[in-house]
Each structure stands twice: as structure tokens, then as C-alpha cells.
Structure 1
Amino acid sequence: MLCKIALGNVRRAGKDYLVYLLTLTLAVTVFYAFNTISMQVDIAGVTAQNSGMGETLGSIISGLTVFLAVVMGFLMVYANNFIMKRRKKEFGLYQVLGMSRGQVARIMALETLFVSLAALVLGVLLGLALSQLMVFFTASLFKTQIADFHFFFSMGAFVTTVGCLVAIFLVTLVFNLRVVARAKIIDLMSAGRKNEAIKARNPWVSAVIFLVGLAAIIVAYVRLINDGLPYDGQPEAMQAFLITTITVVVGTILFFFGLSGFLLKALQGARGLYWRGLNMVTLRQLAAKVNTVSFSMAMIAMILFLAITSVTAGMSLASVMNENVERGTPVDYARTLVYFSPQSVDEMNAEQAGIAGDPDVPSEATTQDLRESGQARYAVATEPVDMLQASSGDTITAGEHAGESFDLASITGSSVQVDCYESTPIGASVPVVTLQDLCDAVDMPLPSGVSEAGVQAYGLAVVSESGYNEYRAFRGMEPLKVGENGYTLLSDMGETVNRIYNAVLGEDIELTIAGRTLAPVQDRVDENASVFTNSMMGMNSGTIVLPDSLVEELNLPLYNSYLMVNYADGVSVDAGDAYIGDVRTYGDVTNAAGEIVASWGSESTRTTTYESVDSMNGLISYLAIYIGFVLVVACAAILTIQQLSGVADAGGNYRILSELGTSKREIAHSVLVQQTIFFVFPLLMGFAHSCVALSVIIDLVALFGGMSIGGTVGLTAAIFVVAYGGYFLVTYLMSKGIIRDAVRVRHGE
């Protein structure tokens, strides 16, 4: 019997459950389709290029799905408060007719179960269709060809989706049961005649709350712009960012809570506007929900902020990598060598000898003493290591060449080695030139995201004129004459850093180094001639080219060496990449005395760099679209349910207005104004938050390459038009139907 009643209620209240069902169905569809990513990349051929991409994407999407399910569950539970308010009288009537609270609870549970099951069936069917189509989207993102397309079903994605839906169902059910269990029958029966209490009645209190919220938001904006994002993970930066986040969240809540009551009183003072048409009714309807609407609008604004920022920043970052990768991959293969500094050599030797931390052994004397005793294993390099020759110290451990030395010379056609030095001379503590020095010279601030302490401790890298011209000849460029009193600056980073270097060169800023006055020989940075390794992002944050004699005079320690290789004629890219890709162990990089002077750093081929870019683009695009779409749908759904429930609750008021001669068009216009405020105000606040956050993100990413959000505005706008705007349109059209039914019922009596 209870099951039959529940089914009848669902059929009878189909309009009430329509938006709820639609939202859950969309959630199930997206959850299932995106959680099939591991199977999609297999069919799309991505795993042939990157064997770990499927597992990586799958694990990230699964974790993100749980987070988004929590967000969706919270919003749906909050929205369900409005649905329950409309059903309270009905549940009270059940108890008046003799049903126990337990029976009423079981009816509610069954209704929720039926709707959830319907959403699961519809969502999985739609998800199956969407996941098949997404295979082609996946192939386009990762730039692969689909060799064997076939229908597929993912049990793992299905289980994850069902788990998320069950969690949402249980939380919603507990909330519903709690409402009925705590309510008295008289409260249930009279629920439709009650408005929520307006606590913030005093306009001055509302004004203070509004201004405090606005001030908190402004303070958070200023803090974020000044402090930037905690990209380096330092505890102090993380703590400051947490304070900023809490400030903006609290400020947003206070802003909306104070704005509602404050605007009501302010507009009541403007009598010409307040008494015009149905403005009085519209404002009273808005004020009647101040306790719940203000908080929900604040939360929706924050979630929309997250959605806008994730989609825009994510897709823009992918665009940056696409733009930079062509310039950042000048050779078939590149390898980096990192030299040990004097301090690190002393520490490693002391640790090797078992006397690390001994206060009786001065660190500066450790290496010399150990060398004399024959115990020293590490040393500071006095001359650059021949990287092509040193590569033969690696041993191939798998494949047809297993056990052989890594013979890089056998596949090398042309190559060049660029040796970079630290700008702090041996025995000195201050670099000869730092980014801060250059900023001071042209009266420009440090770029956002650059640590002040870091630029003081570490200067620009140094390259000799002859070494740099060998590099230019390898790249097919004309030599650059620095002479005995010239210099130039190199960088392949973004405009944030390069505008400083360009200002220094363009303004002919003279530098005094070791008593020698140097003048620039170029008027701006040549970014194409500043790339020393294969990378998807800028890696050369600042290098100064100095005369050979000055480099020798300064006695600078070696910092990095970069080996750039093009394959020999007759060696195909596939063959060369396959040989370099063989698993191998790295040998020690030693000097003539057998002491270790450096360690191998990163290495990459042009092919692997492009594949990494494609993989990152695919990953970022998936996450951005997934997060953005789900969050926007969740916010739009909560607003839709709120507004439809509010219109239904106000049906009696609209009947009275109709009897007093108000046309349905005027009533619908009043409802449209209310719904526009509820939909637009959170969007505007979220957009404002996003503008500030994106300005900081753009400055940070611009360190590695120019970032523009212009290319992603269309995608972001499309998501909002389809999801957010679509829900707004559905809300208004359904509201007009509710108004029409309410007025017709009264006139038909």
C-alpha cells in the first residue's frame, strides 16, 4: 500500500520532481561518461603513446567525482528544503488520517528511491551514449587516431556512479526524515501559510552587515593580489592563502545577508519606485526568504567562482603549452647536467665519511682533508664535462641492447653543448648580477610569483660569448659579437620576466661587473635563441652572456651544461627515440681524478615533449570541462528548485492578486524579476571573484609563457549559456505554468 501511495505521489507531483530528476540524471550521465576515461584512451590509441595516461586520468577523475558528488549532494540537500516545505501539509494530512510517522517516513523514502532509480536508469543510458561519443573527443584532444572503435561498458564507472548516487540519496533521505520527525502536526498543516522569519529587520544592522561583507571581500582581493598564489608550498604562504580564502567566503555570506534587508529598506524609501506596479510584492517576496536565500546565494557564488576559474584558467593553460612547445623543442634530443656547488660537495663528502654535523670539523675544510686522506668522493668541477662522452657511462638494462653502454654518439649527427655558470664567484657570497638589480636599474617591481629572497641569493646564469656563439651556429643563426665590454640577456620565459630584460636592453642600461663597465649589444631578448633544452614551458629564466675574458676572470663555478642533439642522417626519429627510450642506469659523472662532480638532470626528445603537451592538454581540458559543467549544473539546479518551490508556495498570493485585477503578465513579470536577481546576483559575484583570481593566475603563468583568457571565453560562455541559462529559461517557463494553474484553479471554483 505504501509503495502504491509513493508511486502515485511521484506521478501526481511530476512537475515538482522534474527538475530534481533532470539534475540527478545529468549528474549520473556526466559521472559515468567521464569515469570511462581509462577505456576511452585505450580505444582512442592514447596508451600507445603514453602507457600510464589511462590510469592517471582514471584515478584523478574518480577522486574528483567523489568531491563533485559531495558538492552536488550538499546543494541538492539544501534545495530539498524547499521541496519539503511544499510537501509538509501533505505529510501532516497523512498523520491526521491515521498514519504513523514511520509510515510517512517510508513513503518519503520510497518516493526518493523511485526518483533516484529513474535518474540512474536514464543517466546510465545517456552516459553510455555520451561515453561512445567522447572517444572521438578524446582522440582529438590527444591528437591520436582511432584504429578499432567498438561499443564498451565500464563496470568500474558504473559502480562509482552508483556509489555517488547512493550517497546523495542517503543524505537527502536523512534530511527529509529529520524534517518530518521534528515537526508537529499543526506545524505541518500550517506550513503553507507561514513565511520565514526576517531576523535582520533593522536597516542599519543590515547596512553594517552589508558593508562589513563588502570590506571583507575587498580585503581578500587586496591580499590575493599582493600575496599571489602559494605556488611554492611554503607554510607561511599557505597560511596566508587560507586566511584570504576564509575572508572572502565569510565576506560573501555577509554581503548577501546584509544586501537583502538593506535593499528592501532602501527601496521602501524610494516611494515612487516602491509603489510602482508590483514592485512592493516583488520586494516582499525577496525579503521573505532572507534567512535561506542569502546563504545559498553566497555558496552558489563561490561555487560559480570555482567553475568559471577552473574552466577559463585550465583551458588557457593548455593553450599556453600549445603555443610554447614548438619554440621549446629545437632539437631531436636534449639532456641536462647539474654540477655540484662547493657547499653541496662539502656536505656530501662529510656524509660519506660519517662526520656530517661534527662541530669539530669545519665544513670548508672537509673536502680538502678527505682528499688528502683519499676519502673524498665528490668534488667541484673545474672544467665542463663532455656530456656526449660522459653519456657512455650509462648502461642499457633492457631490450636488445641490454648490458651495452649507452652509445649516444652512434645516433648523433650534429650536437652542441652549452655550459652555464653561476653568477656568484667561488669564495664570494653575492652574485655579480641578479634580477633584483635589473629591476632596480629600470625601476620595475619583481614579477608576481618570484621570491625576493630567491633573487637575492641566486643571480642570473652566465654563458661565455664563445659558448653562446657555438650554440647560435648550431641553430643556424649569425654570431653575436659581445666584444670586451658588452653583454646581452637571454630568456625563453613569458612577458612577465622578459619585459624587464627588454627594458634593460632597450634603455641601454650599463652594468659594472668586476670593475668593468658593460653595455648591451641587443635592444631586446631573442627568445628563440634562448632555448637550451626541450620543454613544454619556458625554462631559461635569465642568462647573461659575458665576454670570455670576464668569465675566466670572475672564477665562476659551473652550474648546468645542456647537450642538444639532432639525429644523424639515416637514423629515423622513431629509431633514435626508441634507442634513447631504452631503460638504463645512469653512470657517475666524474673528473680525471675519479671524483663525482655532477649528476644527470632531465632529458627529453622532441617527440616525448609533444606527447607530454598533448597529454597535459587532454588532462587539463577534461578536468576543466568536467568541473565546470557539473558545478554549473549543480548551482543552476539549486536555484531552479528554490524558485519553483517559492512560486508554488506563493500560489495563494498570486490568486489574490489576480482577483484584485492584476494580469497574469504582470504577475509573471514580478516572478521574472525575482528569478533574475536570484540567478544573476550570484553569477556577478562569482564573476568578480574570478576576475581577481584570474588576474593573479595570469601573472603567475606568464612567468613561463604568455597567457590569454580570450581564447577560452567562448567555451566558458557556451557552458553557462547551455547549462546556467538553460536552467533559468526552464525555471521561468515552469513558473509561468504554475502561476497559470494557480489562477485558473481559483477562477474555476
Structure 2
Amino acid sequence: MLFKLAWGNVRRTGKDYLVYLLTLTLAVTVFYAFNTISVQADIVLEEEGLPELLGTIMSGLTTFLAVVMGFLMVYANNFIMKRRKKEFGLYQVLGMSRGQVSRVMALETAIASGAALVLGIVLGVAFSQFMTFFTASLFKTQIRDFHFFFSIPALLITVGCLVAIFFVTLLFNLGVVRRAKVIDLMSANRKNEAVKTRNPILSAVIFIVGAVMIGVAYYRLLRDGLPIDAAPSEYDAAFVQFATTTGIVVVGTILFFFGFSGFLLKALQGARGLYWRGLNMFTMRQLSAKVNTVSFSMAIISMILFLAITSVTGGMSIANVMNTSVERSTIADYSRAVMYYGPDMFNDPQLEADRAQEGYAPIKLASEPLNILKISENNIIDAGTANEEPFDLAHILGKYEQVEVYDSRRMGEEVPLVSLNGLADAVNMPLPKGTASSNANMMGLQVMKESDYNRYLAFRGMDRVDLGRDGYLIASDLGESVGKIYDAALHDGVEIDMGGNVLHPVSDHVDEAASSFFNASMGSNSGTVIVPDRIVDELGLPLYTSYFMGNYKEGLSYEETEGYVRRERTWGSITNADGTESAIWGMEATRLQTYESTNSMNGLISYLAIYIGFVLVVACAAILTIQQLSGVADSSKNCRILSELGTSRHEIMRSVLVQQAIFFVFPLVMGVAHSLVALQVVIEIVALFGGMSIGGTVGMTCSIFLLCYGGYFLVTYLMSKGIVSDAIRVRHAH
């Protein structure tokens, strides 16, 4: 009997449950589809362990987003409860106990949640099949063996999240019924939330204060940047500054919306011809009356939209930068680096004691470069097995080269001969964001001999350079923000003093295509000065890094080259003949590994950005929809009075449309404004590694999100139209 009653209630109040059902269905669809990433990755990716990693990350993120959706569903359910309190009171008047009413509510919630689960899973299964192609596109790979799949783990995660949302919603519903008195339930439709209409002048002042605070926060953020830009010793202070800026913009946003309706009311009252036209007065009074209930939620929604827009735009733009950067920075089939101990590590008794205690060899300054090809033979493949053998690069490489870079600090000196901040001062340009604590400032630019650079250019198939006796070049692949300073220094003919040798530039710009010495996803050369060989020899600059790069012999298979390099092996320490150490192994990267890691990182960033953005946008849109439907239900009596006074239905609905447009559009505009300012700072940081472009895929993705947001607005208006029409119809019936 109770089930039949619950089923009938769900069918009868379908309009009330529509937003709840739609949002929950979308949540289930997205939760399931995105949590099949591990299955999709198995189809499109060959990288071992990556599908499992992606699955773990997505399941953890889903739990977080499910909490957000849980609060959303409670908010949505509040609207339904508000509309049906009189009905639940009537059940009790007719003899049903509170327990029976609670069971009816539980059954109704279970029916709605079950319908959302079934519909969402069906849509999710279909959507996930198409997402396989999207995944292949994000990770820049081919689909190996496409087939229909159904993911039990994704289903369990989705069901778990939905069950948690169901119980949270149910507890809220039961609490409302158990706490409320029958008289309160029966008179619920005659009670409105208490509101206080503030003085329009006071509201205008609050609005202006909020706008000023937002402007101050924008200025502080653009001036101070993100804490990542601070030097290690200043990080705590920078974080406090950033937290303060965040607090200012949050409070400013709340005050902005709190005073917005009053400010708008005061402004329109000044324009009397507009204020008294049609239902403008009624519309503004309605907006002003809701200031207590919507100002805080509109501020929070604008901040959530800001997070959604920034995560999508920033994340996917960073992925685009990595795609561009990897093309420029991947220079050979195989690359390897050796890093030398610097002069600052010597004459440190504590360091020597620690190394001795831990069993490490004593260190000494390298007097000449190590032969990476030769010392690589000290790496042992399959160590401790019958197949043990030395790592022999020579048998798989055809063309190869090794170059050295030197420290720009002379022995016993702490100040570098040439640095990024010195060049920036010379051309009167500020340091880019994120470089305050970079090696190019603290340790100076690296130095390379002209002969090494020409051998590097010959390996790359590029024309050699001629510096003459007193020329110099700068090589850097770090990105446009740093590149602008180097280009300006070269273009303006800035001279540099290298230990009494005054050098002048022989080119007017940095050649980024000839600046990478190691395979990397992002730029790794923050700045290298190319000088005549004699300068390095005369100054006795200490070795900093040796870079080795080589291309595989033609005709060798993947297993003979890439498979050989990836075999398990020990690296060990780099020991001199006298038992000391002068260097340690740096990184090793092949062309394929670099592209694979970049594609994997790009795919992961894009996935997370789209997933977070979509769920947050749906959450914001649903909150606004429920909020507005609740407001229309409360003000339906006012609409009926307007109709009785002779106002046409068209004018009433236009007033409703204007109110709802303001509530939907202004949080979005504020969120976009916050995002544009934040992205300016993000762009400056990302520009260290390459130019950031906000377009293409980002624009398409944001368009889809805005379409979803607009879809909720349309649903809101259509449902509101039905509520108002029902209220007006009651007037005609009487």
C-alpha cells in the first residue's frame, strides 16, 4: 500500500522531481563514464601501470565530487519538501503515523534514485563507448582493440556514491518530518521566509565596497602572483599574501551580490521613466526582497564557476603548451646527462662526514669531462642473473654527440658572471613570474664553448656559428617570458663582461629550435651563454653538466633499440680511478618515452579538468535552478494578484525571465571575470615553458559546459512558466 502511494506520488509530482532526477542522472552518467578510464586506457594505452593509476585518481576525485553532489541533492530535495509539506501534514491528519510518512518518503526517494541510477548507467555505458575515442585523442594514440565493455568497478563506485547521496537525502527528509508539527506542515504554503529589505543607499554602499575589494584583490594577485613565484625563504610570507588576497576576493564577492539588488534598485529609481515602465518596479522589488537568501549562494556559485572555468581553461591550455614544447625539446632518439659536483660542495666538513658515515666515496672537483658512452658500460643489465651484461650503447647508436656546459661562477666566487636578472636590468625589463629563485638568477646562466655548440649543431643538421674573438650567443628553450629578455638583450647589443673579456652579441634573437640539449616534455634550458673556447679555458670555469644525445642505427627493431634501453639495469655510482666521485647520473630519456610521458600527462590533465569542470558547472546550474523554482513557488501568489489586477501573462513571465536571467548570468559573469584575472597569472607562469593559448579544444569544451548551464536555465524558465500558469489558473477557477 505504501509503495503504491509512493509510486503514485512520484508520478504525480514528476515536475517537482524533474530537476532532482535530471541532475542525479547526469551525475551517475558522468561518474560511471569517467570512472571507466582504466578500461578505456587498457584499450588505447600500452604504458604499463598507467591505467591503474588513472583509475585510482579518478575514483578518489569521484568521491570528492560525490560529496559536492550530495550537498546539492540535499538542496534540491529541500525544494521538493517545501512544495509538499502540506501534503505530508495531510497524511498525518488522515491518520498516518510519522513512521509511515517517513517510509513513504524513503520509498519515493528510493524510486527517484533508482530511476536515476538505471537511466544514468544506461547513458553512461553508451557514453563511455564513445569516450574511448575521446581518450585515444587526448592521449594521442591509436585504439588497439575496440570492443564493447562494461566496467564492474566503475559501476560499484557509482552505486556507492549514489547510495551515500540517497542516505544523506533520506536522513534530511526524515528529520524535516520528525521535527515539524502537523500545524506547521499544513500551513507551510502560507509561510514565506522572513526577509529584510535594506536601505537602497546602504545597499549601494555595500555594493561599491564589494566592487572595490574585488578590484583590490585583482590588483594584489596581478602584482604578487602565485606563491610558486616566491623564493624558498619568502614562501611563507607569499602564501600569507595569497591567502589574504583570496579572502578579500571572497568577501568582496559576497558584499557585491549582497548590495547588488539594492544598488540596481536605487539606480533604476533614479531613471524614473524606466523604473515605472511595465513591471520593472515589481521585478526590482522581487530581486531586492531576495537579497538575504541569495546573496551568499550567488557569491559561492560564482566562486565555484570560477574554479570550473579556470580548471578547464588552465588545465587544457597547459596540456597544449606541453604538446608544443615537446616537439621543440625532443632532439634525439636517446639522451642522457651527467651532473658534476659544484665548487660549493667542497670544504664542507659536515657534508664530508655525512658521506663517510653513509658509505659514500669522497668527492673531488672534475678536471675534465666524463665520457658518457664509456661510463654507461658500468650500468649492468639483469644484474645478478645468468643474463647479466654491461649496458652497451655503442651497438645500438649510429650518430651521437656529447657536449658540456660550465658553471658561470668562477672557482671561489659566489656571484655569477652573467645572470638573468642582470640581463633584465640591462634592458630595463622586469623578471618574469616564477623566476625569482631560478638557477638563472642564483647561479647564473650556464656557459658553453663555441666548439661544443657547433658539434651540437652538426648533430642536429644545423649551420655552425662563428663568434669570432669576442662574440656571444644565448640559447634557451624555456619559453617566451624568459626568451623576451634574452631577445631584447641580443637585439639591443648588450655587452657582457666575462672576467675582463667584454663580449657582444652576434645575433639579435634566441634560436629556440637550437637550444635543447636533452629530451624533455617542457623546456629545460633556462639560459646558456655560448662563448669562444678561450674564455672558458682562461677563466677555468668548473664543469656543470654533460649532455649525451644519439640516434639509433637504421634497420634496428623496436626491441633492439627501445626495448634494450628499457631493460632493467643498475646504474651505480660514477667512480674515478682513485676511488673518488666527481659526478652523479642525471636523467635519461628516449624520444618515445618523452612523447609517451607527455601524452599521458596531457591526457590526465585534460581528463581531470573536464571532469571537475563538468560536475561543478552542473552543480552550480542545478543549485540556481532549484533556488529559482523555490522562489517562483513562493511568489506565485504575487503573480496571481498581478493577474487579478489585469496584468497579462506575457508581462508576468517576462518579469520572471528577467529575474532568473540576472540570477543565472551575473554569477557566470563574475566567475568569468575572476577566471580572466587568475588566468593572467597562470599564463605568466606557464609562459616560462611556452606560449599559452586559450582556444581550440578549450573553447569547444567551455562551449559545451555553457550549453549545459544554459540548458538548466531553459529548464528553470519552462518549469517556472508552469508554476506561474498553475497559480494564474487557480485565480480563473475562483
Q: TM-score range by the shorter chain?
A: over 0.9
| Contact 1:197/1:288 (8 A) holds in 2 | no
| Secondary structure at 1:541 match in 2 | coil
User: CA distance change for structure 1 residues 57 and 587 in 2, over 3 Å: closer, same or farther?
Assistant: same
Which residue does 1:323 correspond to in 2? 324
Counterparts of 2:652 and 2:376, CA distance in 1:
80
Which residue does 2:257 correspond to in 1? 256
Deviation at 1:515, TM superposition (A): 1.4
Which residue does 1:68 correspond to in 2? 65
Which residue does 2:690 correspond to in 1? 705
| Contact 1:448/1:700 (8 A) holds in 2 | yes
Q: What is the TM-score of this pair, normalised by structure 2?
A: 0.95
Deviations 1:279-323 (A, max 9, x none): 122122223322221111111111111111111111111111222
1:6 aligns with 2:9: no
| More deviation, 436-445/716-725 | 716-725
Which residue does 2:339 correspond to in 1? 338
Deviation at 1:665, TM superposition (A): 1.0
1:686 aligns with 2:671: yes
Deviation at 1:557, TM superposition (A): 1.5
Amino acid corresponding to residue 340 of structure 1 in structure 2: Y
1:477 aligns with 2:462: yes
| Secondary structure at 2:435 match in 1 | coil
Which residue does 2:103 correspond to in 1? 106
User: CA distance change for structure 1 residues 629 and 188 in 2, over 3 Å: closer, same or farther?
Assistant: same
| Contact 1:495/1:703 (8 A) holds in 2 | yes
| Secondary structure at 1:559 match in 2 | strand
1:247 aligns with 2:248: yes
Which residue does 1:670 correspond to in 2? 655
Which residue does 2:295 correspond to in 1? 294
| Contact 1:332/1:573 (8 A) holds in 2 | no
Which of 641, 644, 669 in structure 2 is aligned with 1:659? 644
Which of 353, 358, 367 in structure 1 is aligned with 2:356? 353
Counterparts of 2:648 and 2:590, CA distance in 1:
72
| Secondary structure at 2:390 match in 1 | coil
Counterparts of 1:418 and 1:229, CA distance in 2:
36
Counterparts of 1:647 and 1:88, CA distance in 2:
17
| Secondary structure at 1:493 match in 2 | coil
| Secondary structure at 1:449 match in 2 | coil
| More deviation, 464-473/736-745 | 736-745
Counterparts of 1:91 and 1:268, CA distance in 2:
43
Amino acid corresponding to residue 679 of structure 2 in structure 1: L
Which residue does 2:207 correspond to in 1? 210
| Contact 2:398/2:550 (8 A) holds in 1 | yes
Gaps of 5+ in 2: none
Deviation at 1:406, TM superposition (A): 0.4
Counterparts of 2:339 and 2:358, CA distance in 1:
25
User: CA distance change for structure 1 residues 291 and 90 in 2, over 3 Å: closer, same or farther?
Assistant: farther
User: CA distance change for structure 1 residues 413 and 349 in 2, over 3 Å: closer, same or farther?
Assistant: same
Which residue does 2:363 correspond to in 1? 378
Counterparts of 1:267 and 1:180, CA distance in 2:
43
Which residue does 1:20 correspond to in 2? 20
| More deviation, 279-288/609-618 | 279-288
Amino acid corresponding to residue 3 of structure 2 in structure 1: C
Which residue does 1:716 correspond to in 2? 701
Amino acid corresponding to residue 397 of structure 1 in structure 2: D
Which residue does 1:557 correspond to in 2? 542
Deviations 1:544-566 (A, max 9, x none): 11121111122212111110111
Counterparts of 1:589 and 1:422, CA distance in 2:
20
Which residue does 1:169 correspond to in 2? 166
Deviations 1:434-492 (A, max 9, x none): 10000000000000111258654210011011111111111122221112211111101
The percent identity for this pair of structures is 66
Counterparts of 1:402 and 1:291, CA distance in 2:
76
| Contact 1:418/1:561 (8 A) holds in 2 | yes
| Contact 2:377/2:391 (8 A) holds in 1 | yes
User: CA distance change for structure 1 residues 428 and 702 in 2, over 3 Å: closer, same or farther?
Assistant: same
| Contact 1:208/1:258 (8 A) holds in 2 | yes
| Secondary structure at 2:550 match in 1 | strand
Deviations 1:71-128 (A, max 9, x none): 2222332343333222222233333334444433333232222211111111111111
Deviation at 1:268, TM superposition (A): 3.7
Deviations 1:203-246 (A, max 9, x none): 34323432332233223222222222233784444343333323
Which residue does 1:547 correspond to in 2? 532
Amino acid corresponding to residue 179 of structure 1 in structure 2: V
| Contact 1:651/1:739 (8 A) holds in 2 | yes
Amino acid corresponding to residue 12 of structure 2 in structure 1: R
Amino acid corresponding to residue 607 of structure 2 in structure 1: Y
Which residue does 1:369 correspond to in 2? none
| Secondary structure at 2:545 match in 1 | strand
Alpha-carbon RMSD across the aligned residues, in angstroms, is 2.2
Deviation at 1:633, TM superposition (A): 1.2
User: CA distance change for structure 1 residues 691 and 712 in 2, over 3 Å: closer, same or farther?
Assistant: farther
Which residue does 2:502 correspond to in 1? 517
| Secondary structure at 1:594 match in 2 | coil
Counterparts of 2:105 and 2:261, CA distance in 1:
33
Amino acid corresponding to residue 273 of structure 1 in structure 2: L
| More deviation, 643-652/519-528 | 643-652
1:416 aligns with 2:413: no
Amino acid corresponding to residue 56 of structure 2 in structure 1: S
Deviation at 1:248, TM superposition (A): 2.0
Deviations 1:181-223 (A, max 9, x none): 4444443333323333233613343234323322332232222
Amino acid corresponding to residue 285 of structure 1 in structure 2: Q
Which residue does 2:221 correspond to in 1? 224
Counterparts of 1:704 and 1:401, CA distance in 2:
45
Amino acid corresponding to residue 381 of structure 2 in structure 1: I
Counterparts of 2:279 and 2:136, CA distance in 1:
55
Counterparts of 1:498 and 1:647, CA distance in 2:
57
Deviation at 1:261, TM superposition (A): 3.2
Deviations 1:574-604 (A, max 9, x none): 5211111111110322334231111111111
Deviation at 1:19, TM superposition (A): 1.2
Gaps of 5+ in 1: 357-374
User: CA distance change for structure 1 residues 108 and 284 in 2, over 3 Å: closer, same or farther?
Assistant: farther
Counterparts of 2:501 and 2:684, CA distance in 1:
35
Counterparts of 1:90 and 1:576, CA distance in 2:
75
User: CA distance change for structure 1 residues 176 and 210 in 2, over 3 Å: closer, same or farther?
Assistant: farther
Counterparts of 1:504 and 1:257, CA distance in 2:
51
Which residue does 2:309 correspond to in 1? 308
Amino acid corresponding to residue 39 of structure 1 in structure 2: V
User: CA distance change for structure 1 residues 335 and 376 in 2, over 3 Å: closer, same or farther?
Assistant: closer
Q: What is the TM-score of this pair, normalised by structure 1?
A: 0.93
Which residue does 1:38 correspond to in 2? 38
Deviation at 1:606, TM superposition (A): 0.8
Which of 591, 594, 602 in structure 2 is aligned with 1:617? 602
| Secondary structure at 2:395 match in 1 | helix
| Contact 1:349/1:376 (8 A) holds in 2 | no
| More deviation, 454-463/75-84 | 75-84
Counterparts of 1:302 and 1:276, CA distance in 2:
34
User: CA distance change for structure 1 residues 185 and 215 in 2, over 3 Å: closer, same or farther?
Assistant: farther
Which residue does 1:141 correspond to in 2? 138
Counterparts of 1:102 and 1:146, CA distance in 2:
55
Which of 394, 416, 419 in structure 1 is aligned with 2:379? 394
User: CA distance change for structure 1 residues 292 and 268 in 2, over 3 Å: closer, same or farther?
Assistant: same
Which residue does 2:451 correspond to in 1? 466
| Contact 1:338/1:560 (8 A) holds in 2 | yes
| Contact 1:465/1:545 (8 A) holds in 2 | yes
| Contact 1:209/1:255 (8 A) holds in 2 | yes
Deviations 1:694-715 (A, max 9, x none): 1111111110111110224522
User: CA distance change for structure 1 residues 453 and 130 in 2, over 3 Å: closer, same or farther?
Assistant: closer
